[in-house]
Structure 1
Amino acid sequence: MDGLLDVLDLVDTGARTSEDIFTGPSQWMPHGRVFGGQVLAQSVVAASRTVPDDRAVHSMHGYFLRPGDVNLPITFSVDRIHDGRSFATRRTQAYQNGVPILSMIASFQDPDDGVDHQIEMPGDIPAPESLPTTAELIGHIDHDVARYWSTERAFDVRHVESPIFLSVEGERVAHQAVWMKAAGPLPDDDRLHRAALAYATDYSILESPMRRHGVPWAMRGLRVASLDHAMWWHRSGRVDEWLLYVQDSPSASGGRGLARGSIFSADGVLLASVAQEGMIRVPDAR
Structure 2
Amino acid sequence: MNNSKELISLLSLKELEENKFLGESVTIGSAIVFGGQVLAQAVHSAYRTIPENRFLHSLHSYFLEPGDLTIPITYDVAEVRNGGSFSTRRVTASQNNKTIFILAASFHKKEEGFEHQVAMKTDIKQPEELLSWDDMIVQLGDFLPKSMKSFLSIERPIAFKPVVVPNPLAPKNRAPKEEVWFKLKGDIPEMDIQMKHQILTYISDYNVLNAAFNPNAKDYNFGNTMTASLDHSMWFFRDFDFNDWMLFSAESPNTYGARGLCKANIFTRDGKLVASLTQEGLLRPKK
TM-score by length of 1: 0.91
Counterpart among 184, 188, 191 of residue 188 in structure 1: 191
| Contact 1:23–1:76 under 8 Å retained in 2 | yes
Partner of 1:41, secondary structure, is helix
* Partners of 1:200 and 1:8 in 2: CA distance: 12
Gaps of 5+ in 2: none
Task: Report the Cα offset of residue 30 of structure 1.
Answer: 2.9
**Which residues of 2 match residues 258-273 of structure 1 at below 5 A?**
258-273=261-276
8 Å Cα contact 2:178-2:207 kept in structure 1 = no
Report which stretch shifted further, 232-241 or 157-166: 157-166
Q: Distance in 2 between matches of 1:167 and 1:219?
A: 14
2:91–2:103 Cα contact (<8 Å) kept: yes
Q: Is the 8 A contact 1:167 1:218 kept in 2?
A: no
Q: CA RMSD in A?
A: 2.0
Counterpart for residue 10 of structure 2: 7
> Quick one: structure 1 residues 267 and 131, their matched pair in 2 at CA, closer, same or farther if it must change by over 3 Å?
same
Question: Helix, strand or coil: the match of 2:37?
Answer: helix
Q: Does structure 1 retain, via aligned residues, the 8 Å contact 2:159–2:184?
A: yes
> Please, which moves more after superposition, 159-168 or 259-268?
159-168
- What is the aligned partner in structure 2 of residue 73 from structure 1? 72
Equivalence map 1:179-258=2 (5 Å): 179-184=181-186, 185-214=188-217, 219-258=222-261
Residue aligning to 2:284? 281
Instruction: Describe the SS at the equivalent of 1:260.
Output: strand
Partner residue of 1:23?
22
Q: Secondary structure at the match of 1:59?
A: strand
Alignment of 1:40-119 (within 5 A): 40-119=39-118
State the number of aligned residues: 279
1:199, distance to aligned residue in structure 2 (A): 0.4
Determine the C-alpha separation between the residues in 2 that align with 1:167 and 1:75.
44
In structure 2, give the amino acid aligned to 1:6.
Answer: S
1:167 and 1:186 map into 2 onto residues whose CA distance is: 42
Given that 1:197 and 1:239 are in contact with CA atoms closer than 8 Å, whether structure 2 keeps it comes out as no
The structure, 1 or 2, with the larger RCO (C-alpha pairs under 8 Å, 6+ apart) is 2
Q: Hey, what's the Cα distance between the residues in 2 that align with 1:225 and 1:114?
A: 38
Percent identity between the two aligned chains: 36
- Separation (CA, whole Å) in 1 of partners of 2:217 and 2:77: 41
Deviates more, 1:181-190 or 1:94-103: 181-190
Q: Once the 2 structures are TM-superposed, how far is the Cα of residue 81 of structure 1 from its aligned partner? A: 0.1
> Structure 1: which amino acid aligns with 2:185?
A
Aligned amino acid, residue 174 of structure 2 = R
Q: Which amino acid aligns with 1:130?
A: E
Q: Which runs of 4+ in 1 moved over 4 A?
A: 141-145, 163-167, 215-219
How many Å separate the matches in 2 of 1:35 and 1:241? 25
